[in-house]
Amino acid sequence: MDKEIYKILVLHGPNLNMLGSRDPKFYGRLTLDKLNKILRQKAKELNVSLKIHQFNSEEKIIKTLHRQRKICDGVVINPAAFTHYSYAIRDAIDLIKIPVVEVHLSNIYEREDFRKISVTKDVCIHQIYGKKENSYLEGLEYIVNYLNK
């Protein structure tokens, strides 16, 4: 097998460790472990390496973005609830100067009013939502295609 061409960071935000227990209408039935397994398989197909983390802490998400900015070529992030109000994560995404794709399992624009706001999307190169685990898979494909340009 050829050397992996890109290193991609996947960051899952708060409460995503509870996948499989959350409302399947919005989040599907996959657990986080199963989602990560699917992501690793897709990464193999795309010939990229993944570093995957899930944090319930805003601070840990920010520190990981800062630390990985010189190691990773791109980021796929689901900021989860932080999407709607974390200017700190928005600023961290903006300052790392590597491409970031924002993903969401549910369609945030067809949910409660507060979920329709994304303070992070404008500093990301793309946003994908409402496709459950396929949001992540498309996000991974998108970032690889972006890097290949």
| The Cα angle at residue 83 between residues 78 and 88, in degrees rounded to 5 | 105
Distance CA 93, CA 145 (A): 19
| Catalytic machinery residues | 27, 104
Q: Are 121 and 127 in contact (CB under 8 A)?
A: yes
- Nearest 5°: phi and psi at 32? -65, -40
List CB contacts of 125: < 8 A, sequence separation 6 or more.
Answer: 99, 100, 101, 142, 143, 146
Distance of CA 75 to CAs 20, 68, 114, 127, Å?
Answer: 24, 9, 25, 12
